């Protein structure tokens, strides 16, 4: 599925604190980011994407289903943003000028704080999604009552009195 099935490009940019001039939709729509997100979902559970599509299509959702959708959207935002933190200094210049095409970049990485915050939010979002997915499975799983393995059978005569 496309990234926009789970989140918006604006949400990803907001997580990174950049504008659409610095990080364009054409960059975010590259298959690199989509494939990475799919792998992230598959690392959790191979049925997660299918479950998201099924729950999204429902017209009426339970609270557990709604929480799962929210957790998935939030995780998708931070998973893509986390992948982009490595190249954040390259697409987020210090100064942009229109005179002689001036673009200056930061010499040191002032993005450490942003990277740390995105990594922290990614970890929290992943834990929330794993829990929401488990809760969804527990809520939709049929209750199973195992058959009795042992039973009591009373005989027609009493072995003590032999009657």
φ, ψ of residue 132 in degrees (nearest 5): -65, -40
Instruction: Judge whether 59 lies within some domain.
Output: yes
What local confidence, expressed as pLDDT, does residue 148 receive?
A: 67
Residue 57 lies in a domain: yes
pLDDT values of the chain reduced to their tens digit, one per residue, 163 residues:
789 999 999 999 999 988 888 888 999 999 999 999 999 999 999 999 999 999 999 999 999 999 999 999 999 999 999 999 888 777 655 555 566 655 555 545 667 788 899 999 999 999 999 999 999 886 665 555 666 666 666 667 776 777 6
Residue 67 CA to residue 135 CA, distance in Å, equals 9
Q: How far apart are CA 3 and CA 105, in angstroms?
A: 28
pLDDT of residue 75: 97
The pLDDT value given to residue 160:
72
Task: Check residue 113 and give its pLDDT.
Answer: 82
Q: Structure pTM?
A: 0.76
Is residue 129, in this structure, part of any structural domain at all? yes
The residue behind tokens 């907001």 is 14
Please report the pLDDT score of residue 44 as a whole number.
Answer: 93
Helix, strand, or coil (residue 21): coil
pLDDT value, residue 104: 55
Confidence (pLDDT) at 33: 94
The residue segments making up the domain with residue 119 are 3-140
Domains contained in the chain, number? 1
How far is the C-alpha of 134 from the C-alpha of 68, rounded, in Å?
9
Within-domain flag for 163: no
């Amino acid at each position: 599925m496309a990234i926009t099935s789970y989140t918006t490009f604006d949400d990803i940019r907001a997580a990174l604190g950049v504008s659409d001039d610095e990080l364009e939709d054409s960059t975010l729509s590259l298959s690199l980011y989509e494939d990475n997100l799919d792998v992230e979902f598959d690392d959790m559970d191979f049925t997660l994407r299918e479950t998201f599509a099924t729950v999204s299509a429902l017209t009426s959702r339970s609270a557990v289903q709604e929480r799962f959708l929210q957790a998935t959207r939030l995780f998708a935002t931070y998973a893509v943003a986390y992948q982009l933190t490595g190249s954040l200094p390259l697409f987020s210049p210090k100064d942009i000028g229109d005179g002689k095409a001036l673009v200056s970049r930061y010499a040191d990485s002032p993005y450490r704080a942003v990277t740390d915050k995105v990594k922290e939010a990614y970890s929290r979002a992943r834990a929330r999604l794993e829990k929401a997915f488990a809760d969804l499975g527990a809520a939709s799983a049929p209750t199973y009552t195992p058959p009795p393995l042992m039973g009591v059978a009373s005989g027609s005569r009493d072995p003590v009195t032999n009657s």
